[in-house]
Amino acid sequence: MKTGFIFPTGLIVELFYGAGEYIGREWLFGIENTQFVLGESCSGTTFFSLLIAYIAFRIKTHKTSIIWFLLAYPIALIANAMRVLSSIYAHNTLALLNGHEFSDHVHVITGAVAFLCSFLLVAYIIEKPNRRLQYGN
């Protein structure tokens, strides 16, 4: 099945690195003599759920447009692709620096940074018009 989060995220990663292969329900990338797997743990569904919950809260409090629900999916895909791309880059950089002992933590750290930055950017964009109306700027 080529819907959900993994397949489109893999397409974005393939645009940057190429040579991706979709087998079953996961992507395989051979980059600089290392194989990377984009599978269920890399799907970004937790970030998407958090984003939907935040948008629902802002709609409930009449602070934002319902259009943000439509934007949540592409935003989640882009944020997840940024996480995967930065994970691959960080892993390859650690390999060059002989930092193999940190490679297990790359997925979690890059995920936290990419998703936090993405979430804060979305929240800033949603909240910015409301500050203008509130303070008259």
- Where do the domains of the chain lie? 43-135
Q: Is the pLDDT of residue 76 over 90?
A: yes
Closest of 105, 104, 114 to residue 84, by C-alpha: 114
Report, as an integer, the average pLDDT of 31-50: 83
Structure confidence at residue 137 as a pLDDT band (50, 70, 90): very low
Which one is predicted more confidently, 135 or 87?
A: 87
